[in-house]
Every structure is written in C-alpha cells, then in structure tokens.
Structure 1
Amino acid sequence: MSLISVTNLTFAYDGSYDNLFENISFQIDTDWKLGFTGRNGRGKTTFLNLLLGKYEYSGTISAKVSFEYFPFHVENKEHNTMDVIGDIYPDYLHWELMRELSLLKVSEDVLYRPFASLSNGEQTKVLLAALFLKENSFLLIDEPTNHLDMDARKLVSQYLNTKSGFILISHDRSFLDRCVDHILSINKTDIEIQKGNFSDWWENKRRQDQFELGENEKLKKDIKRLSEASKRTSHWSDEVEKTKNGTTNSGSKVDKGYIGHKAAKMMKRSKSMEHRQQASIEEKSKLLKNIESSESLKITQLAYHKNQLAELDHVSIYYGEKRVCTDLSFTIEQGERIALSGANGSGKSSIIKLICGEDIAYTGTFRKGSQLKISYVSQDTSHLHGNLTDYARSSGIDESLFKSILRKLDFSRVQFDKDISAYSGGQKKKVLLAKSLCEKVHLHIWDEPLNFIDVISRMQIEELLIEHSPTLLFVEHDSEFCKNIATKVIEL
C-alpha cells in the first residue's frame, strides 16, 4: 500500500478565466478500486491527465507509483492484435496475457487477426488485458463501457472486481456498483472521497442534499431577518448623523459637539453590526454549495392519427451476403418505450436505420405510417461543430428552448460561446439529445444516447421519459436505465 497525495491543486486551461480546480487536497490509497464520478465538463479526464503530468499546475501531486492510462492509443490498427499488444507492453509474458484474455472470455484467435477487424467490444477487452499486464502501476481507466453491450459490461465489471489499484471513470451505475469500493466525486465546489460503491455514495448524497435543503429553508428566514436588521441599523446611523446639522424634534438647537461624538460612536457601532450581519449572510449563503441543479425536462410529442406507428413482420436484414438479424417481428405503438437488446453486431443499429428510412437490404414485410415524423439521435457526434446558435438555426429548432434544455443539463453560459467541437464527449451527446427534445415528431429513436453522459443527467432523462411517456425506440447498454424506462424489450 502507498498513498497518492494531492495538495492545494489549482488548475485552469490556457485562456480560461475560471479555475477548473482550486486548492483541492485529498489522498488516494493505491490499493483502492476507486470509482470516479461527476457531471460532464467538471474535469474528470483532465484530472487523470494531471496525474500523468500532461499539464502544468500549481500545488503538488506526490506518488510512489507510475500511472497507466486506458484507453491506449493504437497507432497501427491494421497490425495483428498480438503486435499491437507488443507495442503497448514489449516485455509481456504470453501465458499472463492468455490468463487475462481467458478471464475476459476472449479467444486466443483474436491475437492473430488485424486489430481493426475486432469488434469495439473485443478491442476494449484486449486493451484492458494489456493494461493489467503492467505491474506496479496505478491504472487510470477512462470510460471503458461505451462500446460494451450489457453482457460484456457485466463480464468486465466482474473482471475489474478481482483487481485493485485503479481509478475508473464510468457513468453506468450498475457497472460501478459491481467493481468499486470507494467513490471519488467532483462536486460543484470541491472533490471528496467516500468509502463504498456508487449506490452507497448516491444515498449519502441524497441524504446530505435533503438535510441541506431543510437547513436552507431555516437559513432563508435567518438571512431575511439579518438583511432587515442590517437595513434598520444603516437607517438608524444615518438618522443620527443628520441631527448633527439640524435641530431636535422640539425645535431647539442641538449641541453639535455632543451629538457629533454620540453620532460617531453610534455610527461605529452600527457599521460593526452591519459587517457582522453581512458576514453572517454570506456564510449562510454558502451552505448549498454542492446541491446539483437537476430541473425537470419536458418533451412535447405530436399525436399520430393511428395507434400503430410501424410494424416489422418476419424481417431479416442483410449487408451484402451477410445476414445481421433474422426473422424479426414487432410493432411500435403510441406510448411504448421499446428497448432493442442484444450483443454488439446483432443488428440493432440496422433495424434503426431501416425504420428511419435508410436504404437497407431486407426480406419480410416492413410497414411505416405515412407522414410519420421521426427524431433520430445517432451514436456519432463527430459531425458537430460551430456555435450553438447556428446549430439550432440549421436544425430548424427553437434556439431559446434548445439552450434552456442544455442549461438544465448543467451547461454553463460560458459553454454557449465555445465551438461545439471543443466540447467533451458527454456535452456533445447532450447537444444531440437537446436537439431531439426540441423537435416536434411522432417517434423518437435514440441509438446509445447515454454514451459519455453523466449519472445525474441520465436520471433527469429517465424522469422525463417516465413523466411524459413519449413513443421511443432505443438502444442502450445501461442496465439501470433500461430497467427503469423500457415498457417492452425486443431481444435480438
């Protein structure tokens, strides 16, 4: 066991007026399985990069271990997987690699295939196996779940639970619960560490928030009382000061020397009271520092003239000679929230493309309602660039509503002035979701909408879908989200 000590860490990006971290101090035990959570844009990946020494900062970070970052950058994806692992860790032992791959249920034959030919899930597992070959390193694991289906997430979480000595960034609640024993959270004003898994941390946070909100009601009354007292004190000293050059109520002349001395004394006393009252107001105003804003979102979906929006009857989909899904039958009816479930490569995205009107080869019968309007959120965010105003106009959506939704999803006003291409992965996904929520349609189709999106925003989206019951077809590997949202599951 050794400690990683962070002391008075302060950091801001070049050109930024605001510090991302300010005088942050805490310690990490290198034996911990540490889950790392916080809203998008709070600096989770930045903190990992600070540990890796990539940026200059003030304060100190001291550690007796080296750090390794996941995911590794793979320069030559056309090389065989074995050579890719050799580039990452030249001194690995083959039997140790086979042990790790066996734990992750990856067959040996992938080593002799080009890395690029592996599925996203296989690539993730191979790189995780290479990561855990590195002994005497503290591992920084940045969102490994984004390309993993539900079964793979369960397997990888069980694998990580057998390990120790890592920080894991993930927004999948079930995944974190299965493989961490501490939580490091970036809050609005500080960073804190708690023992336990994500559910333990969330329950503690919920209790703390409720306590602070209850305290806040008392404090509002105290602040109002202090503010009124401060105004009275200020008014009182002003009235005394006026008498220096005036007369008394009886009309007689005042003793200016006596009154001046008395006024100065009372003025000093009243100013002292004002300062104390103001300091007390400021202190009490700080108490809600870590309550996260998670206002409810809204969605207004168009009603369709028929209950049934689409139907697939014994549909099989093909890419060239390859059949990606077989003999699939289901309907989409108004008010249903349908989860498409299945392993990566089982045809989920192909079904979505067919329903959205893309030219997909298929057999069987597919019917879609005439004049059916669909809002589609894709997995891909690489096309996003420019400012939010131009994006809203080009998308034909209401700019003020669009930005209001982003504000509720924890966008600061500073973000509105930045180019979208500079946003984090989670912020880009929120742009696509906010656009979709603004579109007046009959059906929403979301393909892995929660990749990179923080936990609190996920819960906001869950509340939205439960409250407004829009018609939704979605693919999502977050098991907690699917359990809470889906009214029907189509297994592929």
Structure 2
Amino acid sequence: MILSCQNICKSFGEKIILKDASFHIEDREKAALIGNNGAGKTTLLRIIMHELSPDSGNVVLAKDKNIGYLAQYQDIHGHHTIYEELISTKQHIIDMENRLRSLEQEMKTTTGDALDSLMNTYTRLSHQFELENGYAYKSEIMGVLKGLGFTEEDFERQIETLSGGQKTRVALGKLLLASPDILLLDEPTNHLDMESISWLETYLLNYPGAVFIVSHDRYFLDKVVTKVVEIEAGNMRMYSGNYSAYALKKAQLRDAQYKAYLNQQRDIKHQEAVIAKLKSFNREKSIKRAESREKMLDKVQRIDKPQEIQNQMRISLEPRFVSGNDVLTVESLSKSFPGQTLFSDISFEIKRGERVALIGNNGTGKTTMLKIINGLIDADSGRFTLGSKVQIGYYDQEHHVLHMEKTIFEEISDAYPTLTETEIRNMLAAFLFTGDDVFKLISALSGGERGRVSLAKLMLSEANFLILDEPTNHLDIASKEILEEALNSYTGTVFYVSHDRYFINQTATRILDLTNQAIVNYIGDYDYYLEKKEELTEKYAPAAAQAVTEAKQASDNKLSWQQQKEEQARQRKRENELKKVEARIEELETRDKEIDETMILPDICTNVAECAKLSKEKAAITEELEGLYEKWEELA
C-alpha cells in the first residue's frame, strides 16, 4: 500500500464535503476518483497534498515515497522555453553526464592509483547513469512533448506566451518526466486532443508507479483504471474494475437498495395492518399484542428511500417542426487563415435524424466549420445549403450566444418573452438554477454554469437541427449521461464537435474525421471508427510490418485458444449458478408474498401459533434472500 486516507472529514461552514472518507491505493495501482461537480474530489486531492487540512482523519504515505500533483489550472512563470522547462526535470542526469565527461578528461592525464580510483568512480557513475535512462533522456523528453501534442516548432516557444491549456500540458509533461511514486492527476485530459489522450492512456498503463486520477472522461477511465473511488453525498465507496464495471455495479446496488426499501415498506405496512386488526378486536390481550408489535416497529431502523442523484438535469428535446430529409449539404468548402490552411474542397451531406460527430486533432478547423455553417464567419470558397424547414439551434463552447451583462433570468426571458415566470423558473430548475440563483449575472458564472444556461436556451428553441460545439465540456458524468439520453431520444438532427469518446460512442450514428485538410466518413460510433481506421492503416502499411503483425497474432492465438476455452468453461459455470440463484430468489419471493397475503386473512392473523410459524418462516426467507442477492450481484 502506497497511500491511505483514513476517516477523512471536511466541512466548509455547514456544508459537509467528506464524512469519514477512507480508501487506499496499492503500489502501481491505477485508480479513479469520481463524483458530481462539487462532490469534493479536488478538495480530497488538496488534503492529500497537505494544501488543505482535514477537520479530522489522517493521510498516510508509504515511507520514502513521493507524490506528484497536477492541479486543474497551472500558471507556470519564467522566461524558459517549453523544452528548457521539461529538461529541468532531468538536471540530476545532466549533472551526472557533465561529471562523466569531466572524469574522462581527468583520466587522460592521470596514472597509477589515482587512475584506478577515477576509473572506479567512473564505473559506478556510468552504471547509475544507465539505470536512470541517462543515454536516452533527450529522446524521452521529445517523446513526451510530441505525445502531449507539441510540435518541434513549439519546443522553442516561451512559457509566458502560452495559453492556460498549453501551460497545463507543459506541467503534465514535467510531472510525467519526474516520475514520482504516485501521480495525482486532476482532469489531465481537459486540454488534450484525441491522439494525445490515446498516447497518455498508453503512457499511464505502462507507468511504473501508482496513478490516482480525477476525470470525467469515461472512455479514458475505462482504458486506464482498475479501481474506482466514488464520493457521493460526502460518503466514499470503492469499486474494483474500470468505469463501465463501476457503472454496472452502481446500478445493481441502487436496485438492491431500492428493493430492500420496498421490502421494508411492505413489512411495515403489513405490521401496521396487523396492529390495526388486533386493536379492532378491543380485547386486553389483543391490545397488548398490538402495543408489543408497535414497540418492535418503533425500534426498526428505517431504510431511507434511495433517490436518484440529487439536482441532476432533466432535459427534454423536441423540435417544433419536422425538417426535410436533406438537412445540410456542404460543397467544396475551404477555409484558411494567414499561414495556415484548415481545410479545402470539403463536401458532405447530413440527413434528417442523423447524429453526426465531427472529430479531429486540435487546430484542424472543427469549430471553424461549425461557425461557417451557423453563419458566424464566411468560408473562402464553396458553399453550404440548409434543407427545407431547417431551424438551427447552436451551442457555442465559448458561450458567445450569452449576454454577460444580463442575469440568468433575463437571458431566458428576453430570448423567449412569451414564457411566464413560472415556466422560466421550471426550465432553469431543470438546469440546477433555483431560488435566487436565477438572478446571478452571466458574467459571474463559472464555465460549467454558463454551459448549462446555453443548454437551457437551446432546449427552449425547439430547433430541429442542433449544432453543438463541445457540449460536454464542464459537465460532470451524471449530467453527460442525461444529455446523452436526451440526444438519443431527439427526433431532429444533430451535428457536433466533441473530444469525449464515450459521449461519441453513446450518441453518434456517423463520424466525420477532419484530417489532413479533408473529411473521411465512418458510418458508426467511435469504436467502429477506431476499428476501420486501424484496418485502413494496416492496409497501407509496409508488407514487412504486416507479416510481423500476422506472426504475432498467430502466436497470440495459440496462447489464447486454451485461455478462451478455460474462460468459456468458467462463464458457463457462472451462468448455470446464476440461473439457479435467480430461480431460488423467485421461489422465495413468491413464498414471501404468499405469507404476506396469508397473514392478513382474518382466521390466520388471529391465530397466534400460525402467525408465529409464518413469521419464523418469513424471517428465514428474508435471511436467505439477503445472501442470495449478494451472490447474484457477484455472479451478475
């Protein structure tokens, strides 16, 4: 175990952020920390880094281990270039290299015992230099810089000229090169394009230390982590597996909790009915029995009704008019800026009902294309045509469609003057703005809050063609899932830019890849795009590389055949056990229901011996069911 948090509590005023939060990270383990916005993820990381003090509890780091921390926002100062900033992490290796060169010069003019001593020192230092990758440290730096999306032309750029996102990438590069025993990463993919995120996934999978990641990028978490630590309403819980495994287990637990709540409510109602019946007999013994049951009922620890995630958005999308079948036709579109051609001679069509994702690396012109289609900027050449009855709803990641001087309420009421105050408040409440929140100025809102206001305006527009630029930016996972559900049930047409691969997988029916100033069309989701792109790459790869790949696959197939057989056998055994458990659960639940129905019959509920017998049987059923539910969860 490299890191342990024990019973961490933290409050800000009356708001409880963490309650007895405990978890641990093993050496080399890759784990995720997830929770809604405001749940306390960054607070916990800052407590681990001793930037904040907990109200109670302890953070324990294994002896002689060190932590590296990437905060969400970085403000690196200085007059260094990007390359100089990263090479500073290797100063100890540079010092060793200089010492080796110095020793080499000394050995040329030294003899006897002094030479032997120098040679011994040189041998030890050379060994240490080799162990610390001294002969390849420059290649390592180049690899990290290029992996994070910097070109060789960028290497000499001054740090002070970089944007906030570029500074964060530099900070991430420095952290990876420093190679601490445990990495704490707060939203590391925020400023990376798809290629860089894919590179980071591979880097972290092979990272020799432990990694603890806060991220809303579910695809990234699926690829990298083997454990999920969740913060929900101040409470913490650990799940083994990646994000998808966590989501499945979470849903099963919520279902189990809801079932337990319903079962208890049914038992309580049954007991209340029996008590009422006993009291109705109006006899001393029956009243005493009723009072005894009431006392027992009062002692029952009530299960709170499980609720869906609090304050989540409720989005309903419905176009006012149905558009024609041809929604958008783009013909020979080109756009350049001084010194940079974004795309040229681009042509494509979008039909009604399609959900098309436009993907590509940073700087390829995706947002520019959306702005051209929305009429915000002009193309250099070519044209686009909107189909019959097409009404655009535009979501701008920079929120230029919002007026900074207005309040949230004014932003909606001015755009839609026919709405009543109640209707506006109900819509804003769906986007988490309640009470006096609606009178906040747009200029005072965070990026995520502005995003929610923009989405609210979009929902009210009743457009039949949604153009969305990075709609999931600043949304937490729960909000992303709600938006995915809304788009999937939307009967209009959607054209969007996104770096969120999980979101694309859930919503896209087609992908347009903007690469090398041209468009490549893929009819499917993101996984389909990856598969087809790999096929195309292999098709045009050199024959030798193809032969190596095929040989490796043949070798892997020999090895995996036996593993597949063993896994299939385990799967069949698990499925058979699952069927048996489900059958037994159904049998017991049926009998439990029969007992409930029997015990309220007049001739039974007055029969003490029979009631006792049935209650004993019911208790035994409840106990067995609890064990079966747990076993079912494991098997399922």
Q: Please give the TM-score of this superposition, normalised by the length of structure 2.
A: 0.63
Residues 97 and 431 of structure 1, relative CA distance in 2, 3 Å threshold: farther
Whether the 8 Å contact between 2:425 and 2:434 is mirrored in structure 1 is no
Q: Name the structure, 1 or 2, with higher relative contact order (CA <8 Å, separation 6+).
A: 1
Give the Cα separation in 2 of the matches to 1:374 and 1:116: 40
1:321 is displaced (CA, Å) by 5.1
Matches within 5 A, 1:86-485: 91=91, 93=93, 96=137, 98-103=139-144, 105=147, 106-115=150-159, 125-136=169-180, 138-163=182-207, 164-188=209-233, 190-226=235-271, 273-274=293-294, 276-280=296-300, 283-285=302-304, 288=306, 297-303=315-321, 306-320=324-338, 322-368=340-386, 372-380=390-398, 388-396=408-416, 404=426, 411=432, 416=437, 419=440, 425-485=447-507
Structure 1 letter corresponding to 2:325? N
Whether the 8 Å contact between 1:72 and 1:127 is mirrored in structure 2 is no
Q: The residue matched to 1:39 in structure 2 has which SS?
A: coil
Residues 371 and 226 of structure 1, relative CA distance in 2, 3 Å threshold: same
Bigger drift between 378-387 and 199-208 goes to 378-387
Q: The residue matched to 1:367 in structure 2 has which SS?
A: strand
Matching residue within 33, 38, 56 for 2:35: 38
Whether the 8 Å contact between 1:37 and 1:184 is mirrored in structure 2 is yes
Any unmatched runs of 5+ in structure 2? Answer: 95-135, 515-636
Give the Cα separation in 2 of the matches to 1:307 and 1:204: 41
Structure 2 letter corresponding to 1:26? F
Matches within 5 A, 1:44-83: 44-64=41-61, 65-71=66-72, 73-76=74-77, 80-83=81-84
Any unmatched runs of 5+ in structure 1? Answer: 241-261
Structure 2 letter corresponding to 1:277? L
Name the residue aligned to 1:4: 4
1:196 is displaced (CA, Å) by 1.7
For residues 159-180 of structure 1, give each alpha carbon's deviation from its aligned partner in whole angstroms, at most 9, with x where no partner exists: 1111232221112222111111
Give the Cα separation in 2 of the matches to 1:229 and 1:407: 43
Residues 18 and 310 of structure 1, relative CA distance in 2, 3 Å threshold: same
Structure 2 letter corresponding to 1:13? F
Structure 1 letter corresponding to 2:11? A
For residues 59-103 of structure 1, give each alpha carbon's deviation from its aligned partner in whole angstroms, at most 9, with x where no partner exists: 12322344523346224487521354478x594657646415415
Name the residue aligned to 1:22: 19
Whether the 8 Å contact between 2:356 and 2:494 is mirrored in structure 1 is yes
Give the Cα separation in 1 of the matches to 2:49 and 2:248: 32
1:218 is displaced (CA, Å) by 2.3
Bigger drift between 54-63 and 375-384 goes to 375-384
Whether the 8 Å contact between 2:23 and 2:229 is mirrored in structure 1 is no
**Percent of pairs with identical residues:** 25
Give the Cα separation in 2 of the matches to 1:219 and 1:421: 49
Structure 2 letter corresponding to 1:142? D
Q: The residue matched to 1:434 in structure 2 has which SS?
A: helix
Q: The residue matched to 2:16 in structure 1 has which SS?
A: coil
Structure 1 letter corresponding to 2:3? L
Structure 2 letter corresponding to 1:11? K
Q: CA RMSD in A?
A: 3.9
Give the Cα separation in 1 of the matches to 2:161 and 2:368: 19
Residues 350 and 222 of structure 1, relative CA distance in 2, 3 Å threshold: same
Structure 2 letter corresponding to 1:160? L
Q: The residue matched to 1:464 in structure 2 has which SS?
A: helix
Q: Please give the TM-score of this superposition, normalised by the length of structure 1.
A: 0.79
Give the Cα separation in 2 of the matches to 1:296 and 1:73: 34
Structure 2 letter corresponding to 1:198? Y
Structure 2 letter corresponding to 1:12? S
Q: Highest Rg: 1 or 2?
A: 2
Structure 2 letter corresponding to 1:10? C
Q: The residue matched to 1:19 in structure 2 has which SS?
A: strand
Structure 1 letter corresponding to 2:178? K
Structure 2 letter corresponding to 1:167? F
1:202 is displaced (CA, Å) by 1.6
1:454 is displaced (CA, Å) by 2.3
Residues matched between the structures, number: 460
Give the Cα separation in 2 of the matches to 1:121 and 1:93: 29
Residues 372 and 291 of structure 1, relative CA distance in 2, 3 Å threshold: closer
Whether the 8 Å contact between 1:138 and 1:166 is mirrored in structure 2 is yes
1:465 is displaced (CA, Å) by 1.6
Residues 69 and 278 of structure 1, relative CA distance in 2, 3 Å threshold: farther
Bigger drift between 369-378 and 480-489 goes to 369-378
Whether the 8 Å contact between 2:322 and 2:389 is mirrored in structure 1 is no
Whether the 8 Å contact between 2:357 and 2:497 is mirrored in structure 1 is yes
- Larger relative helix fraction: 2
Bigger drift between 337-346 and 142-151 goes to 142-151
Q: The residue matched to 2:479 in structure 1 has which SS?
A: helix
1:352 is displaced (CA, Å) by 0.7
1:299 is displaced (CA, Å) by 0.6
Give the Cα separation in 1 of the matches to 2:23 and 2:10: 15
